[in-house]
Amino acid sequence: MTASSQLRGDELIASRHLPADPGRVWAAFTSPAGIAAFWGGSHAVVPPESVLVDLRPGGEFALDTRAPDGATRRLRFVYVGVSAPHELVFDEPLTGLRTTVSIRPAAGGTDLTVHQRRLPVELRTTQAAEGLASILDALAAHLRLHDVTPGRSTR
């Protein structure tokens, strides 16, 4: 299964079923190592040392993305809501973009939805929708590779 995404005006919604329990998905979204492992999706790398997580309302969440051509971009967000292990809400202060990450238990793992609102015009593209879907697919791959369930490979 792969992630699905849809662009509706100034909103982008992506969802995916993940092969892990909600606690593992939450840990991936809230730890610097977890974020660095998947955030760039198929289009960028996130250096682990660039990730900052101050997991509380008003706390900062920041990271660098490095494109294949070497261009680096700093992304910075402020947490608005933190409800472990079910929901994260964070805003991008410069554009007003709001992202809500919803983590719900489901048969065989977790259903994840990422809903972005108030998308800047430059992010209202098919490329942005595909990019967000690739991030969720990278998260699924990361969770599969780092499964510590007895009897399963960890790499």
| 3-state secondary structure string across the chain | CCCEEEEECCEEEEEEEECCCHHHHHHHHHCHHHHHHHCCCCCCECCHHHCEECCCCCCEEEEEEECCCCCEEEEEEEEEEEECCCEEEEECCCCCCEEEEEEEEECCEEEEEEEEECCCHHHCCHHHHHHHHHHHHHHHHHHHHCCCCCCCCCC
Query: Taking 70 as the threshold, does the pLDDT of residue 38 lie above it?
Result: yes
Please check whether residue 39 lies inside any domain of the structure.
Answer: yes
C-alpha to C-alpha distance for 38 and 144, rounded to whole angstroms = 12
pTM above 0.75, yes or no: yes
Tell me what the pLDDT averaged over the chain comes to. Answer: 92
Please check whether residue 46 lies inside any domain of the structure.
Answer: yes
The pLDDT score that the predictor gives to residue 25 is 97
The pLDDT score that the predictor gives to residue 151 is 40
Total count of domains within the chain: 1
Query: Taking 60 as the threshold, does the pLDDT of residue 144 lie above it?
Result: yes
Please check whether residue 19 lies inside any domain of the structure.
Answer: yes
Please check whether residue 154 lies inside any domain of the structure.
Answer: no
The pLDDT score that the predictor gives to residue 89 is 98
Query: Taking 80 as the threshold, does the pLDDT of residue 127 lie above it?
Result: yes
Query: Taking 60 as the threshold, does the pLDDT of residue 139 lie above it?
Result: yes
CATH of the domain at 135: 3.30.530.20
C-alpha to C-alpha distance for 140 and 117, rounded to whole angstroms = 23
Please check whether residue 153 lies inside any domain of the structure.
Answer: no
Average pLDDT over residues 38-66: 94
Q: pLDDT-based confidence at 40, cuts 50/70/90?
A: confident
The pLDDT score that the predictor gives to residue 41 is 83
Average pLDDT over residues 99-106: 98
Query: Taking 90 as the threshold, does the pLDDT of residue 79 lie above it?
Result: yes
Please check whether residue 150 lies inside any domain of the structure.
Answer: no
Average pLDDT over residues 22-30: 96
Q: pLDDT-based confidence at 112, cuts 50/70/90?
A: very high
Please check whether residue 100 lies inside any domain of the structure.
Answer: yes
Q: What domain range includes position 21?
A: 4-145
Please check whether residue 29 lies inside any domain of the structure.
Answer: yes
